[in-house]
Structure 1
């Protein structure tokens, strides 16, 4: 038994030496290898005796004990402590910055030196895609887990950024068309004026902001979307001239923060927003009192699981003014900046690689995302998977899922279609099952807008340009370079000044001071020049 202390977290790993054969062979309990891990995300843990995890273990001869960030944990400090002690879990999925630090500390094994024996893993990406992940020494040290689509995108859920609003607010207003920033806040103002409290008498929060240093995009990056650009994150891309533009200083950025300042002083924005930790923010969403916010669905989704149907959220593609085409939904982004790696503390590298390889086997992918045939789903004569009423009821039941679902979320998998080419990769993306699973009020909402999915509430995604998304590239920057130092300085200035800008009694003078410090302290040109060079490299110019 090996124990590794990470902040307030204990990760234990039982590493058993055993022989193991093909993925489909069943293993005895004492032959199953158990790997430790650390994932830079706050997700709900599954039960120790989870059914699906055990079935996967019996078929692959291995399982991973998933350890997640806890409230109050500092992920960067956890990584730094690991590096100082030179003790790591077997698998690790850090932040983009953490990936770079671990590579520089020689803490990750070069996966490409071993992968010839693991074809599912080696063939997970194309050679060009692997080249985008390779470190400057030519090696691959981690595998991005969320960047591979099989056949085509089948999204029914918008997992990315949007202006979100509770469905009951849209119902109350008669399902209006909301396009501009002014229309969005007008809707919230009117609703909260008519409904200042929830049914239990607690006050409604018209608009919430997550502005913690670790998750700041809810506050600082809406200007790119308001101007109709996709989520490049690091910048706006002028696709005609192949130039990176700083969205922090555009006229729309000033309009965005001026609007927040106005709404803050009207009492529409939660006055506590700038002192909230992520967990406190999620807890406010869990009350059902938060009517709207900007966020990425993957970030707050777990906080909505127990909300009443009328308090679930709908994405809106809000722009700064009429005439701008919104671009909130994009095809699956290729994120080369971070992924899951195997550390030098793992004393069974081949076994760990085989586990990753086996998790990409079609049979195991079905177990991860559909479950057990006849228990979690049924199969029609045409090969199409479907759920009966009892199986549908289990989806979204947190207790059932903790006991009977094991997705291994932060290990590689395929979005889009199932490997059989007939079904979606998971039930929530299966068109017939998705609409059937909706609540009555959400069906009413979608019917009013003439759509069947959350994705259809937004404009259809076009083909991603070759540089998309730029946040994947900027995520590899370190402070050792002028452009990396500029990125760090920009983030520090924004974190210090943007809350002041929103709360100030004199917006104009505070904005002027913010811009003055931003331009004096940050070498924005070095940052943008590097991004522009990468855009042109990707475009073949």
Structure 2
């Protein structure tokens, strides 16, 4: 399941130096109008700056199917990018619709932005709304060969043999560069761990036992606000906060809607796995005990964030980017960060001794989504070069 942090999307849309293309062999997609050979690539940066210096600034549009904040067209970063690469991108974010609804509206209207990042890329491919990127990728062989291996590029190929989008989030070559976990996990507040003497929590049962014990000893915060052991966000596409836990508890990373067994090269629907069954049984047990927020299945995202921002929620499952920016800022303003209300991630399994691969997102190639160029883009050559730059 692809959900991404707003900051990275903004960087991908505006600071396109993060963006990259993938290559398989050139497909019969029609050669790009402005072909470039390998010798041209070394001059890409200089060419871009020359274009910008001449005042030839290309303006592109981009739609991102997740909520975000639009920025002024004349913002400083956008102007710096225009000065260096001769391109400006006007981003539009999801408002008032789900990603599926917004994508469907675009397809029904038959009009598209120049760039798009959607959860429904396959629908756009079926609607012939995306430009096949194979030939564009092959214009930049040095870039293509450095960015991913041939095997990794092949994972981006769609059933028709073409590549339609590029993962904009970088490539760590299998080695993590992060010092924090910016993805999905079971989260718990620092104050809970501190109270318990920083125990090593390895399993789901240990996690909920810790929350129960803390609530029993500390039913309220210092100001009398009632502590809440565990809440769940289920609104719209964010139901992953409820669903995804099963794959982590089985010892697997977030590979989307399935577990990928690389030993047998098979996939499994983790929603029916024994680990997921145990997970939902545990949630039922905790709910009946009164430790799961009764508003979990009806609260909106805004209500969920407001609840976390009070500092009273001890734990939940969520993507870091889905809550941390707003909630951590709120904690700093209220001083709750100094009281241990910040959240830290835990990698849990259903049983001790299981292999745990929960922290792998940035060490693997995410080919499920990325940036695509639509057929309405009047200058796909320059648009793709901007992604490469």
TM-score tier, shorter chain, comes to: 0.7 to 0.9
Q: Secondary structure at the match of 1:106?
A: coil
Which residue is 2:218 aligned to? 195
What is the TM-score when the length of structure 2 is the normalising length? 0.77
Q: What are the within-5 Å matches in structure 2 for residues 446-485 of structure 1?
A: none
Please list every run of 5 or more consecutive structure 2 residues that lacks an aligned counterpart in the other structure.
Answer: 1-44
1:104 aligns with 2:106: no
Indicate which of 69, 72, 75 corresponds to 2:99. Answer: 75
Are residues 206 and 242 of structure 1, via their aligned partners in 2, closer, same or farther at CA, if it must alter by over 3 Å? same
Which residue is 2:68 aligned to? 43
Are residues 275 and 355 of structure 1, via their aligned partners in 2, closer, same or farther at CA, if it must alter by over 3 Å? same
What is the TM-score when the length of structure 1 is the normalising length? 0.57
Q: What are the within-5 Å matches in structure 2 for residues 437-516 of structure 1?
A: none
1:217 aligns with 2:254: no
Q: Secondary structure at the match of 2:93?
A: coil
Q: CA deviation at 1:91?
A: 0.7
Are residues 36 and 226 of structure 1, via their aligned partners in 2, closer, same or farther at CA, if it must alter by over 3 Å? same
Which residue is 1:508 aligned to? none
Which residue is 2:388 aligned to? 357
Contact 1:147 1:335 in 2 (8 A): no
Q: What are the within-5 Å matches in structure 2 for residues 1-80 of structure 1?
A: 22-25=47-50, 27=52, 31-46=56-71, 48-70=73-95, 72-80=96-104
Deviations 1:218-259 (A, max 9, x none): 222323322323333433445554443443333332321121
Q: CA deviation at 1:117?
A: 4.1
Q: What are the within-5 Å matches in structure 2 for residues 336-415 of structure 1?
A: 336-358=367-389
Contact 2:175 2:363 in 1 (8 A): no
Contact 1:160 1:328 in 2 (8 A): no
Q: Secondary structure at the match of 1:175?
A: coil
Q: CA deviation at 1:295?
A: 1.8
Which residue is 1:231 aligned to? 254
Are residues 297 and 240 of structure 1, via their aligned partners in 2, closer, same or farther at CA, if it must alter by over 3 Å? same
Q: CA deviation at 1:107?
A: 0.8
Please list every run of 5 or more consecutive structure 1 residues that lacks an aligned counterpart in the other structure.
Answer: 1-19, 359-541
1:315 aligns with 2:339: no
In 1, distance between residues paired with 2:380 and 2:260?
Answer: 41
In 2, distance between residues paired with 1:287 and 1:338?
Answer: 34
Are residues 159 and 61 of structure 1, via their aligned partners in 2, closer, same or farther at CA, if it must alter by over 3 Å? same
1:84 aligns with 2:114: no
Contact 2:94 2:102 in 1 (8 A): no
Deviations 1:467-516 (A, max 9, x none): xxxxxxxxxxxxxxxxxxxxxxxxxxxxxxxxxxxxxxxxxxxxxxxxxx
Contact 2:51 2:57 in 1 (8 A): no
Which residue is 1:114 aligned to? 136
Number of residue pairs the alignment of both structures matches:
336
Deviations 1:427-468 (A, max 9, x none): xxxxxxxxxxxxxxxxxxxxxxxxxxxxxxxxxxxxxxxxxx
In 2, distance between residues paired with 1:199 and 1:47?
Answer: 42
In 2, distance between residues paired with 1:329 and 1:226?
Answer: 12
Indicate which of 141, 145, 162 corresponds to 1:139. Answer: 162
In 2, distance between residues paired with 1:47 and 1:305?
Answer: 25
In 2, distance between residues paired with 1:27 and 1:238?
Answer: 48
In 2, distance between residues paired with 1:222 and 1:229?
Answer: 10
Q: CA deviation at 1:270?
A: 1.2
